[in-house]
Amino acid sequence: KAGVTQTPRYLIKTRGQQVTLSCSPISGHRSVSWYQQTPGQGLQFLFEYFSETQRNKGNFPGRFSGRQFSNSRSEMNVSTLELGDSALYLCASRAGAAWGNSPLHFGNGTRLTVT
């Protein structure tokens, strides 16, 4: 079974621009979560989607948004980029609530650099 796929792998953007990152979960997984990883803050939860609905949201400004499609694929968008948004953005999928607690399966991330 294929793992979580994130595209693109690397991105360089300029302050003020916007960016869209894409994630394809493991087949059959309906829950997709997004995390931001930085050396200073570690892994920080952004949001989780389940069956196209946002189920949980972390403490990030409204510039960070996401969505999930009917095939469980997900995108996250960051508008008006700031230098501090430079990070590794990780997507993770899991089987979902019907199976009780289950671990996250991560992709290898998108490395975003804002200049």
Partner 1 sequence: GESVGLHLPTLSVQEGDNSIINCAYSNSASDYFIWYKQESGKGPQFIIDIRSNMDKRQGQRVTVLLNKTVKHLSLQIAATQPGDSAVYFCAEAKGNTNAGKSTFGDGTTLTVKP
The CA distance from 43 to 40, in Å, is 9
**Residue with Cβ nearer partner 1 (14 or 40):** 40
Q: Give yes or no for residue 36 binding partner 1 (CB under 8 A).
A: no
Residue 89: enclosing H or E segment and its boundaries? Answer: strand 87-94
Q: How many CB atoms lie within 10 A of CB 66?
A: 22
**Residue with Cβ nearer partner 1 (38 or 71):** 38
Whether 104 and 48 have beta carbons less than 8 Å apart is answered as no
**Residue with Cβ nearer partner 1 (52 or 80):** 52
Give the residues lining the site for partner 1 (CB under 8 A).
4, 31-33, 35, 42-43, 45, 48, 50, 55-56, 58, 90, 92, 94, 97, 100-109
